[in-house]
Amino acid sequence: MKKLYTSLFFFLICLTALAQIKNVVTGKVVDPQNKPLELVNLKVVETNQYAVTDKNGLFRINGSETNNILTLEFSYIGFQKLRLPIAIKAGETNLGNITLKVLDLSLENIEINAKRNYSGSTNSSLIINRDMIEQIPALSVNDLLNQIPNRKIQPPSLQNIQNLTLRSVFEPTTTGRDPFTLNNSFGVAIIIDGNNISNNANMQGYNPGLRGLGSTSVSSNSFGLTGTTSTSSYSGDFAYGGTDLRQIPADNIESIEVIAGVPSVKYGDLSDGAVIIERQAGKSPAYVRMQVRDNATSYNFSKGFVLSPKLGSFNVGVNYVNSYADNRDKIKAYKRINTNAMWTNSFGKEKRLKNTLSFDYGRNLDGIKKDDDDPTSKILNFNSWNLSLSNRTSYSIGGDFIKNISLNLRYSNSHQRTYTEQLVNNPYILYNNATETGLTNGIYDKGVYTAVSDVDGRPVTASAQLDLNGEFRTGEIRHNLNFGGNFSYAANNGLGRLSDPSRARPGYNTTGNSLSSGPSERYYDFSLAYAQKDFGLYTEDVFTLKINNRDLNFRGGLRLDGQNGFITLSPRTNINYQISDDFRLGFAYGLSVKSPGLAQRYPGPTFVDVPLINAYNGNANESASIFYVQRFDPDGSKLKSSKGQTFELTGLYKIKDYQLSFSLFNKLNTQGYNTVTQYDILSLPQYTAVFVPGSKPILTQNGVKRFLINHNEFNNDLKTDNQGFDLILSTPKYEAISTSFNISGGIYRSNYQETSDRFGSTISDNNTIPDYPVTGVYAPRKQTTYFSSGRVTSSTHIPAISLIVQLTAEFSFLNKTLVNANDGVPKGYFTRDVRYIEITNPDPSSTVYGHLFIPENELVSDNQYRIYSNYHLSLAKEIKKRFRFAFNAYNFLNYQPRYQKPGSNTVTSPNGAPTFGIELSLKL
């Protein structure tokens, strides 16, 4: 680290020596009382230059050519962000006094709804700024993302994993652990203060090689009071998917940019978009916030200090949340505490070197207590803590070519522990401790015990990103050139899966007289996994040119990524053109890749136990057994990066103060990560036993039998083709009723499939005919899901009394999954004596294999059979600009529509129960 900073220091000296400062921009930032504001953050959007004001509110930005048009962005905690376009003059461009407005409900113009107006870094950027965040009582950042169009509004809760998916829809599942949903959320980058919060080092959960990706979650049995919503499949593990948004508090967020389309080439290790979060830093009053909900309480304190003119500012924040699934029994709880500290300072006579050092600590206590009224209940704990240290350095050079250079460094260390225990009651168990392929003797033990599963993970991640911003001209066109690179490191030093075959969980032990083969668990040390080391390089050109005297904005570049030994190139571009004064049209195209994480690269060895004989007479000393153990070691080096390719057409239409934005897209995802079942046919010896009183039985080989065994390996097996359209319409404020309206909605279609054949469940009946089909083989499954929703929000804002009231009517139009009629038709089968038979002309009436056909109604779990609505309410009131009261209610009318699934007695009530919350905020 010391060598890195030393090299960067000398590099900056060289660049500064070459810089020839031609023009400067100066000015003074004041509050509404015309008092100077110290430590206001300034950013030049085009060149990424940063500056801060001194104690007199003065600022100075060096280096830009005459007649250039630049956009200055002013931000200060507690004040409304200001974007100001300026024209550069020769010499000094003095902007005079620039007034920032205090951010409160007495302002005439505040942002109440998310906007998509080409003000972000891409055509599709959806901006959620501090104006909006102040109005939303949120338990986590997930609650703020309800503004995304064509996304079902989720009630504020912390009782389930919160993964974000963008521009894809899949068949609903009870667990949300289907591989397509996991891949989409895994491919959405969460970027906080310029750092990618990666989930690559997360390895929590069971071995996916045993029974596939869908069985990796450590999950619960049913719990809670009778009559409540089913809670039989809860899990707090989020490996293989995206970052759990529950871990990110919303209180100190300055802005959020959601990129569902084509992100800048600056951002790597993603395939399905990005969420860019900027946090508050600088001087601020002390804020105390308390939120009380029917299922959670939240407390927050934050304060920004000015240490001194030379030492800069220091921010601290503490957030604590306590949430229960049901306040009546409090068996399932989620508790979170987050603390963060940020030191920001600028150095040099002209304050051209800005540095922000951040420290974050978070701890999560998530789990289910043992129910004293249910002796068969599980104990589950999903506990973790995370500590991170990051540093962001930016140096404004302002030379003829290089304008700015920045370096982001981040180190994170975590400890995750997933623990569960449950009672097991069997006559006896039979197991072995073998860790290599071959024959081994079985071990008998008592069948009454406490089964324990303990997964200990200790992820360590580090990243570095270097960005340079330059400026040059070709003729009359001014180019902003961005280029740089990044390196990321991920390892897991955890103890791993602490499995004990003698205390196996149900379904992974041998009991009774069954001789069926199956997977068994062994200890796996996570630290044996090689560290993940990925890198990326990028270059990007941003310019504006005139066509018919109207602006055409171009952002395009190329990114190179090195991931898991493979090199990929990703071109990306965002272009938009101002066709008329009222209409702007945009087009975007891009490729992106997401690296496989440690859990996909190194899932650990898989063991399959084949019991060949179990000669048991009730006395372990007079009994004997033989297992054949097959060990499989997966090869993660073959995994390629998952890919996303997006075409996007966007538009923005303005008539006076009415604004309509739309997005039409086609996104193709390939090489997605999934486990694929691999079958092996083995010829193994058979034995007979002769019991001998007082000693072990005599075992004699009497032949050979064929066995069909299977295990699962990760492969680039998934493909998803997505199309969709969404829009946002906002109206001006109608002064007569002090109300504006916002309408958003869309429709998405996803066609998704696996690329490998599927194997059906082995049929275990009493038919002993050798030719009897027991395992069907099916073509890769293909599904198509349609989803459409919309909402209408009325926002009544009365500045004179500092009041906002919002009513939202949400409509769910369509949620339907179609399956391929051939998905349930077998293409072949394995017989009981383990021979594969191909079916040339499948006949469902066949007396031989007709039982292998899967009815279509068993292929789809649930569809929506009618349009339904839901209604939500929120309001906020300020008193003397220091005290704020906010109230929100999900389904505040307790509207519960119902519909019956055709051909069944199942009745669905899609709307959740009402949930209410209030937030009290005090500015000291």
The phi, psi pair for 523, rounded to 5°, reads -70, 135
Residue 906 banded pLDDT, cuts 50, 70, 90: confident
Q: Are 125 and 97 contained in the same domain?
A: no
Last residue of a domain, one of 80, 105, 130: 105
Rounded Cα distance, 105 and 879, in Å = 10
Q: Is 694's pLDDT higher than 50? A: yes
Tell me, yes or no, whether 120 lies in a domain.
Answer: yes
How many CB atoms within 10 Å of residue 562?
A: 16
* Residue pair 594/274 in contact by the 8 Å Cβ criterion: no
Q: How confident is the model at residue 322 (pLDDT cuts 50, 70, 90)?
A: very high
Instruction: Quote the pLDDT of residue 436.
Output: 95
In angstroms, rounded to a whole number, what is the distance separating the alpha carbons of residues 258 and 556? Answer: 19
Q: Are residues 70 and 180 in the same domain?
A: no
Asked if 272 and 352 sit in the same domain, the reply is yes
d(CA 497, CA 504): 12
Shared domain for 165 and 64, answered yes or no, is: no
CATH code for the domain in which residue 665 is found: 2.40.170
Phi, psi of 164 (to 5 degrees): -100, 130
The owner of tokens 């009815």 is: 855
| pLDDT value, residue 17 | 43
Q: Residue 906 in 3-state DSSP?
A: coil
Q: Is 601 helix (H, G, I), strand (E, B) or coil?
A: helix
Residue 416 has pLDDT above 90, yes or no: yes
Q: How far apart are CA 782 and CA 137, in angstroms?
A: 41
Is 534 inside any structural domain?
Answer: yes
Residue 511 has pLDDT above 50, yes or no: yes
- Is residue 328 assigned to a domain? yes
Q: Which comes out higher in pLDDT, residue 821 or 878?
A: 878
| Residue 532 within any structural domain of the chain | yes
**Stronger pLDDT, 234 or 229, i.e. the higher one:** 234
Dist. CA 510–CA 506, nearest whole Å = 9
Residue 699 contacts residue 442 (beta carbons within 8 Å): no
pLDDT of residue 810: 96
| Residue 70: CATH number of its domain | 2.60.40.4130
In the structure, what pLDDT confidence band is assigned to residue 5 with cuts at 50, 70 and 90? very low
Please say if the pLDDT value at position 743 is more than 90.
yes
CB 635 within 8 A of CB 663: no
The answer on 47 and 150 residing in a single domain is: no
Q: Please report which confidence band the pLDDT of residue 798 belongs to, taking 50, 70 and 90 as the band edges.
A: very high
Decide if pLDDT at 513 tops 70: no
For residue 896, the model assigns a pLDDT of 92
- 844 within domain boundaries: no
User: Do residues 359 and 417 share a domain?
Assistant: yes
- Final residue of a structural domain among 756, 788, 813: 756
Question: Do 281 and 189 share a structural domain?
Answer: yes
Residue/partner pairs of 423-427 with CB below 8 Å, 24 or more apart? 423/375, 423/376, 423/448, 423/449, 423/450, 423/451, 424/448, 424/449, 424/450, 424/451, 424/505, 424/506, 424/509, 426/509, 426/511, 426/512, 427/511, 427/512
- Residue 68 pLDDT level (bands cut at 50, 70, 90): confident
User: Under DSSP, is residue 193 helix (H, G, I), strand (E, B) or coil?
Assistant: coil
pLDDT of 13 over the 70 cut: no
Rg (CA), the chain: 31
pLDDT(206) > 90: yes
Q: Are residues 93 and 116 in the same domain?
A: no
Span 343-371, average pLDDT: 89
Q: What is the pLDDT of residues 539-563, one digit of tens each?
A: 999 999 999 999 999 999 999 999 9
Indicate if the alpha-carbon torsion angle 287, 290, 291, 295 is positive or negative.
Answer: positive
CA atoms within 13 A on the CB side of 236: 25
Average pLDDT, the chain: 89
State residue 10's pLDDT score.
Answer: 47
In tens, the pLDDT along 420-431 reads 998 888 888 899
Sign of CA dihedral 97, 98, 104, 105: positive
97, 134: one domain: no
Does an H or E element contain 868, and which?
strand 868-879
Tally of CA atoms within 13 A in the half-sphere of 688 that contains its CB: 3
Choosing from 105, 131, 164, the residue where a domain stops is 105
Residues 607, 612, 618, 620: is their CA dihedral positive or negative? negative
- For the record, the structure tokens of 780 come out as 């890769």
Residue-level pLDDT at 16: 45
96: domain range? 1-105
Note the pLDDT tens digit of each residue in 706-717.
999 999 999 999
Outline where DSSP puts E strands in 353-457: 353-368, 379-396, 402-431, 438-441, 443-457
| Dihedral of the alpha carbons of 133, 134, 137, 138, in degrees to the nearest 10 | 30
3-state SS, 539-552, equals EEEEEEEEECCEEE
Residue 300 has pLDDT above 90, yes or no: yes
> For 488-517, what is the mean pLDDT?
85
Total number of domains in the chain: 2
**Do 117 and 90 share a structural domain?**
no
* Residue 65 resides in a domain: yes
pLDDT at 564 over 60: yes
Mean pLDDT of 511-520: 74
Q: Which helix (H) or strand (E) holds 679?
A: strand 658-692
Q: Identify whether 542 is part of a domain.
A: yes
Are residue 159 and residue 60 in the same domain, yes or no? Answer: no
Residue 701 lies in a domain: yes
Examine the pLDDT at 393 and tell me if it is beyond 90. Answer: yes
Asked whether residue 154 falls in the same domain as residue 169, the answer is yes
- 533: helix, coil or strand? strand
